[in-house]
Amino acid sequence: MVTSLTAGERETVVNGCDADGHITVWTAQRPLITKLRKLACAELVEEGRHGTSAWARFTLPAAALSFRNPASAARRAQMRQAALRDAAAVMANEGSGLNRIYLPESLTARGYDDGTLEIGQASQAIGR
């Protein structure tokens, strides 16, 4: 009887070399299989099942693989404040006088306020 792969066994392996311009990705992680299926440059080479766990092997151009540094805390705060400013601008143009008077409360009610800063303090918090 074949059992499903455990969480520790559902892995992703990326292989590539300098001799050719492509990489091979073998994965048993369902979210990654779904993303690779949607990627236009990824070619499904083979797929199968191990118990109820799906696996797949793809090839894609080496240029499609990139590694990025995660955003710093300061950059995340800057992006949050930009989103708050954009939401405030949209709401201010909705035409309601109450939106202009109660803008911070409206943002909080709509889920835009992350609770870190008041809207008017964005430029001081980011260091501009």
58-109 tens-digit pLDDT = 999 998 888 888 888 888 889 888 888 888 877 766 655 555 555 555 566 5
The DSSP code for 121 is G
126 band by pLDDT with thresholds 50, 70 and 90: very low
119 band by pLDDT with thresholds 50, 70 and 90: very low
Q: How many domains does the chain have?
A: 2
Range of the domain at 98: 73-119
H helices present in 1-128, as ranges: 30-38, 73-92, 97-101, 103-109, 122-126
Q: Are residues 87 and 107 in the same domain?
A: yes
3-state secondary structure of 62: helix
Does residue 32 form part of some domain?
yes
The CA R_g of the chain, rounded to the nearest whole Å, is 23
Does residue 7 form part of some domain?
no
- Would you state the structure tokens that stand for residue 36, as one six-digit string? 């690779």
Q: Are residues 16 and 59 in the same domain?
A: yes
10-56 tens-digit pLDDT = 999 999 988 889 999 999 999 999 999 999 999 999 999 998 999 99
Query: Strand 22-27 to strand 43-50: parallel, antiparallel, or no bridges (unpaired)?
Result: unpaired
pTM, whole model, 2 decimals?
0.55
